[in-house]
Structure 1
Amino acid sequence: MLKSQILFLFTLSILFGCKQTEKTKETRPNILFIMSDDHAYQAISAYGSELLQTPNIDRIADEGMLFTNACVSNSICAPSRATILTGKHTHINGKIDNLMPFDTTQVTFPQIFQANGYQTAMFGKLHFGNNPKGADEFMILPGQGYYLNPDFDTPRGDTTIMGYVTDVITDLTLNWLKEDRDPDKPFMMMYMHKAPHRPWWPRPDKFAEFTKKQFPEPETLFDDYQNRGTAAKTAEMNLLTHMMYSHDSKIRPELLEKMGDKVTPKVEEFENGFYGPFGRATDEQKAQYNVVLDSINDYFEQHWPMMTEEEKMRWKYQRYMQDYLACISSVDDNVGRVLDYLDESGLAENTIVVYTSDQGFYLGDHGWFDKRFIYDESFKTPLMVRWPDKVAAGTVENEMVQNLDFAQTLLEAAGISAPSDMQGESLMPLLTGHKEQWDREAVYYHYYEYPSVHMVKRHYGIVTKEYKLVHFYYDIDEWELYDRLDDPNEMNNVYDDPAYADVVKELQIKLTELRSKYKDSPELDSLFIQKYNDMQVEKGNDFW
């Protein structure tokens, strides 16, 4: 009898232990980290966009939390991604710009997930390190990748997949979720789009649809930069004078040559800027594109020489928006495909879904395209997080959060301890309704890639909800201060306004403290300048 009781209790303890293990496994959340490239918050309807409806991306915000003050620590592609992966500022992980090498000794958060029993996968654009650490499975676009019939680096070698890149990346993601995922393990999936990165080649049907549309202009489209310093006035990202006719607006090189001096202002083109992307299309794909390309080029040939400078600016803006927003429309459609599968499969109930971008982007704001500046349109980035039963649906958060925080947030959500040398702060208090535990008042920003494409000068700064203090350095020594509440378009530098003297003094002290906290310094500035100059000498004309 005693032996039977002991056997019964032993069996019960084993079953109870198994049940606890299963329960633990079931409650560890899956992670779906979705990132697009250069996706401006101004082009997401959840942020109030008048440009485009993005119903599928909006679902994440509607069913979770929308961050209105999410930002980056360095507004350029590869450095932002390095910060996201490591939870460290770029001067720590080495990837200060698109040229400097990443410090491969750095531990990335996918490695930590992998070491803690998660199945990990990465599909799409990483931009650097095409053999990503910590990914059980990956298919990564080499470098910037192509929109049409893209190449991929995989653990099994290189491959080319026919189709439109946004659709292809989604197909790969869904195939892994449906066929290759281990259902007995939680997963950490990074689903990363190339779109809407320049040169903005939409899928043929979207190309035809969006070229028929007209979009509202930003109120700062004709900004003259009069109340800003040297940096804004000398940047080379103006739609009229720097956006390329062939590479960007889809004017065939042959037509530009034919029109000659009738095409003004003169803009230097990238070599193969048109046929590099378009040349990858099959004959069938080219036939679909040519219908729209013929229409654009015919209009340009007939009307461009007679247009005023203002009309030219407006035409270039519309061409830009037509292609850029068409690319985003495909992203939204495909995000919807993945969200639908999560719902249909039941995975949605225990999956954290994050949508973000590697930074913001100028959509004609201040007359610009591209990013790089600490000004809001490139500094701020979309961020929304859905986590059923943990994050209240439809919540909006305006605290200052950064891509620096993503790694620590996801690790804490999974119950994994973050390395002590990560520099971000977990967003869990904000996500789970414990805002009283959040105490950040300001974030730190530092941009390095100068002199280079777009000629945005080196600068660092501190940003609070109320103010933005910026120091431009290297070949100039200028300060700017913006009142983010009274001047949301950042049109007026009030650094020398006596009414803001106390604000300047306080923020300069806090900026010095932040630089110290994050282990940045004037000595590091000088070191990176020297390394950058050495690379320019070494690479010569190939540097850019």
Structure 2
Amino acid sequence: MKALRCLIASFFLVATIVCAAQKRPNILIIVSDDHAYQAISAYGNKMVQTPSIDRIANEGVLFKKAYVTNSICGPSRAVILTGKYSHKNGFKDNEHSSFDGSQNTFIKELTKSGYQTAWIGKWHLETAPQGFTYWQVLPGQGQYYNPDFIMMDSSKKRIEGYATNIIENLAEDWLNKRDTAKPFCLVIGHKATHRTWIPDTADMGRFDNVTFPLPKNFYDDYAGRQAAAVQDMTVAKTMLLGYDLKMFDSEEAENKEGSIKRMNAAQRAKFDAYYGPITADFKTRNLSGKALTEWKFQRYMRDYLSTAASLDRNIGRTLDYLDQHNLTDNTVVIYVSDQGFFLGEHGWFDKRWMYEESFRTPMAMRYPGVIKPGTANKNFVMNLDIAPTVLDAASVKIPGDMQGRSFLPLLKNKKAEGREAMYYHYYENGEHSVSPQFGIRTKRYKLIRFYERVNDWELYDLKKDKREMHNVYGKKGYERLTAELMKQLNGLIDEYGDNDAKAILQQVKVAGDKKAF
């Protein structure tokens, strides 16, 4: 009898643990690549529709001031995983870094606490994922058509189809096979909308009848901004007709392009049927100067947004899956891009800069029962905060070395105070000739220090100069403000322990930049 009572007690103990585990929310994080907030209808773009991303925002919160710590693909993912700045997690740039998988991540904390954890899709951290119960990732940047995937046994598997659709298929397959007695955390890493913006065949031509207005600073002359003047990322000069816009000089050149070469016969036929006539028409125009630049801009926008259309559609599939499997009410959904992107602002494409279009990222979150539907949040939040926020939602202790902050208190309590300022540091000194830079952004001002390629300061009054065209650093009347921002910048450098930036500022001080100190 005693043994029976012990057995019954054990049964109820296990049942209680399982029930408690099931009450903890599932977590689903969708990370896109280079998806500009300007390309999302929830952020006010009336020329495109992103109903699935909008749905997350409408049923939860749209972050109006979400930013990244380092606007580049791999480093952003490392920050999301660790909740630590690049100088602390070790992955500073895409040129020399590989992720140290032995360090702690929010995934490891969730796995230890009983969550099933998976990352499927773009990873881009050079080393194999660690701490997950399952993963299946693209090698490097991955391919849009018939992509290869690295499996957990280190083998490679090629899957026929379009990457965005395939990644969603694989995510749903993992969800179908998971242990339903445990909560899950799934990260879906999409390749879209990364260069070279090759749409799904179903989306080719989606925006061909739309003429996109040039950004007001499309023909920026970069006056007063040394770093901007030496970059190499313009639509006019850097964007390639063949590689980027699929306008090849010959069939032979087209056949050599790796992303096209890997297409199967049916995919290639649809590709040629769409781009062939556009190429032929382009050649008859014999464009040059501004006419050529503006033609390139229209092609860029059409390809980019058509690529984004498949992304949004597959996000919709993810949300539908949760609905169909009664998971919606107990699943936290976060959508975020790894950084922002230029859609012609300053004449550019790509990212990297501390300027708003690159520094700022789209982010929306749905948490039924916790976040009021239709919330618009204007606090400063960062990709740095995702790790502690997820752990907070899962009732898992946040490690002391995580530098981000859970933003759940900002969503639960209107009186909760967010950041006064944000710190940024970009390290690469190669691609697109963008100078390394670090700086601070407050609610009104932005102070940036460029170094290595260009040694210079920039200061912007974002209230008067939203497009960041007028560098007022060193101008009369800004001395006191500059000193205050320098003090704040040094405070954040100390707070986050960025010794690299500290050493650079010390060198500047020794060199005697009186405007700075």
TM-score exceeds 0.5: yes
Moved more, 292-301 or 126-135: 126-135
Residue 140 (structure 1) aligns with: 137
Moved more, 516-525 or 158-167: 516-525
- 1:289-343 deviations in whole A, cap 9, x for unaligned? 101121121122111x2x3422111101011011110010000111101101101
Q: In structure 1, what residue type is equivalent to 2:226?
A: T
Are 2:341 and 1:344 aligned? Answer: no
Are 2:225 and 1:246 aligned? Answer: no
Q: Which residue among 44, 49, 52 is the counterpart of 1:56?
A: 52
Are 2:149 and 1:152 aligned? Answer: yes
1:253 Cα deviation (Å)?
A: 3.9
Residue 417 (structure 2) aligns with: 438
2-structure distance, mates of 1:440, 1:42 = 23
Note if contact 1:45-1:52 (Cα within 8 Å) is conserved in structure 2: yes
Q: How many residues align structurally?
A: 502
Note if contact 1:399-1:465 (Cα within 8 Å) is conserved in structure 2: no
TM (norm. structure 2) is 0.93
1-structure distance, mates of 2:161, 2:59 = 31
Residue 464 (structure 1) aligns with: 442
1:372 Cα deviation (Å)?
A: 0.4
2-structure distance, mates of 1:175, 1:112 = 24
TM (norm. structure 1) is 0.88
2-structure distance, mates of 1:133, 1:65 = 31
1:184–1:294 CA distance, 2 compared to 1 (3 A)? same
SS of the residue corresponding to residue 241 of structure 1 reads coil
Q: Which residue among 278, 290, 298 is the counterpart of 2:260?
A: 278
Residue 226 (structure 2) aligns with: 230
Q: Which residue among 83, 86, 89 is the counterpart of 1:90?
A: 86
SS of the residue corresponding to residue 385 of structure 1 reads strand
2-structure distance, mates of 1:475, 1:244 = 24
Residue 403 (structure 1) aligns with: 383
1:255 Cα deviation (Å)?
A: 7.4
SS of the residue corresponding to residue 242 of structure 1 reads coil
Are 2:354 and 1:371 aligned? Answer: no
1-structure distance, mates of 2:501, 2:214 = 43
Note if contact 1:239-1:316 (Cα within 8 Å) is conserved in structure 2: yes
1-structure distance, mates of 2:252, 2:148 = 30
- 1:142-194 deviations in whole A, cap 9, x for unaligned? 0000000000001142100000000000000111112x111000000001100
Residue 487 (structure 1) aligns with: 465
2-structure distance, mates of 1:340, 1:525 = 51
1:497 Cα deviation (Å)?
A: 2.9
1:69–1:244 CA distance, 2 compared to 1 (3 A)? same
- 1:42-81 deviations in whole A, cap 9, x for unaligned? 0110000134110011100000011111100110111111
Structure 2: state its 5+ residue gaps.
Answer: 505-517
Are 2:310 and 1:330 aligned? Answer: yes
1-structure distance, mates of 2:344, 2:313 = 24
SS of the residue corresponding to residue 350 of structure 2 reads coil
1:21 Cα deviation (Å)?
A: 2.8
2-structure distance, mates of 1:214, 1:17 = 64
SS of the residue corresponding to residue 164 of structure 2 reads helix
Residue 541 (structure 1) aligns with: none
Moved more, 103-112 or 200-209: 103-112
1-structure distance, mates of 2:146, 2:494 = 47
1:373 Cα deviation (Å)?
A: 0.3
Residue 196 (structure 1) aligns with: 193
1:419 Cα deviation (Å)?
A: 1.4
Q: In structure 2, what residue type is equivalent to 1:301?
A: K
1-structure distance, mates of 2:295, 2:108 = 47
1-structure distance, mates of 2:414, 2:276 = 55
1-structure distance, mates of 2:142, 2:306 = 18
SS of the residue corresponding to residue 477 of structure 2 reads helix
2-structure distance, mates of 1:256, 1:454 = 28
Note if contact 1:352-1:387 (Cα within 8 Å) is conserved in structure 2: yes
Q: Which residue among 469, 473, 495 is the counterpart of 2:451?
A: 473
2-structure distance, mates of 1:275, 1:525 = 44
2-structure distance, mates of 1:274, 1:216 = 33
Moved more, 145-154 or 465-474: 465-474
SS of the residue corresponding to residue 461 of structure 1 reads strand
1:514–1:140 CA distance, 2 compared to 1 (3 A)? same
1:23 Cα deviation (Å)?
A: 3.7
Note if contact 1:447-1:458 (Cα within 8 Å) is conserved in structure 2: yes
Q: In structure 2, what residue type is equivalent to 1:29?
A: P
1:523 Cα deviation (Å)?
A: 7.2
Are 2:489 and 1:511 aligned? Answer: yes
Are 2:85 and 1:106 aligned? Answer: no
1:511–1:137 CA distance, 2 compared to 1 (3 A)? same
Note if contact 2:101-2:130 (Cα within 8 Å) is conserved in structure 1: no
Residue 181 (structure 2) aligns with: 184
1-structure distance, mates of 2:503, 2:56 = 39
2-structure distance, mates of 1:200, 1:163 = 16
SS of the residue corresponding to residue 205 of structure 2 reads helix
Q: In structure 2, what residue type is equivalent to 1:501?
A: E
Q: Which residue among 336, 357, 365 is the counterpart of 1:385?
A: 365
Note if contact 2:66-2:381 (Cα within 8 Å) is conserved in structure 1: yes
Residue 165 (structure 2) aligns with: 167
Residue 419 (structure 1) aligns with: 399
Are 2:289 and 1:309 aligned? Answer: yes
- 1:454-509 deviations in whole A, cap 9, x for unaligned? 01101100011211110111243211111122211111112223333222111100
SS of the residue corresponding to residue 111 of structure 2 reads helix
2-structure distance, mates of 1:444, 1:190 = 26
Note if contact 2:380-2:418 (Cα within 8 Å) is conserved in structure 1: no
2-structure distance, mates of 1:202, 1:505 = 48
1:128 Cα deviation (Å)?
A: 1.5
Pairwise CA RMSD of aligned residues? 2.2
1:213–1:273 CA distance, 2 compared to 1 (3 A)? farther
SS of the residue corresponding to residue 31 of structure 1 reads strand
1:13 Cα deviation (Å)?
A: 6.7
Residue 124 (structure 1) aligns with: 121
Structure 1: state its 5+ residue gaps.
Answer: 258-271, 527-544
2-structure distance, mates of 1:184, 1:430 = 31
